[in-house]
Amino acid sequence: MKDCLFCKIINGDIPSEKVYEDEEILAFKDIQPAAPIHILVIPKKHIDSLANIEEDDEKIIGKIYMVINKIAEDQQFKDKGYRVIVNCGKDGGQEVMHLHFHLLAGKPLGEKIVG
Ligand code: AMP
Ligand code: ZN
Residue 111: predicted pLDDT: 80
Q: Are strands 25-29 and 101-105 parallel, antiparallel or unpaired?
A: unpaired
16 in contact with ligand 1, CB cutoff 6 A:
yes
Residue 110 has pLDDT above 90, yes or no: no
Residue 37: predicted pLDDT: 98
Residue 115 has pLDDT above 80, yes or no: no
Q: How many whole angstroms from its chain centre is CA 57? A: 15
Reduced to 3 states (helix: H, G, I; strand: E, B; else coil), residue 104 is strand
Task: Using the mean position of ligand 2's atoms as its centre, give its distance from the Cα of residue 7 in Å.
Answer: 4
Mutate to test the pocket of ligand 1, among 32, 48, 88, 100 (most ligand atoms within 8 A of CB): 32
What pLDDT, in 10s, does the model give residues 4-18?
A: 999 999 999 999 999
What pLDDT, in 10s, does the model give residues 20-77?
A: 999 999 999 999 999 999 999 999 999 999 999 999 999 999 999 999 999 999 999 9
Number of H helices, E strands in the chain: 2, 5
pTM value is: 0.97
Instruction: Give the Cα separation of 43 and 22 in Å (integer).
Output: 10
Task: Using the mean position of ligand 2's atoms as its centre, give its distance from the Cα of residue 27 in Å.
Answer: 14
Residue 104: predicted pLDDT: 98
Mutate to test the pocket of ligand 1, among 30, 47, 84, 91 (most ligand atoms within 8 A of CB): 30
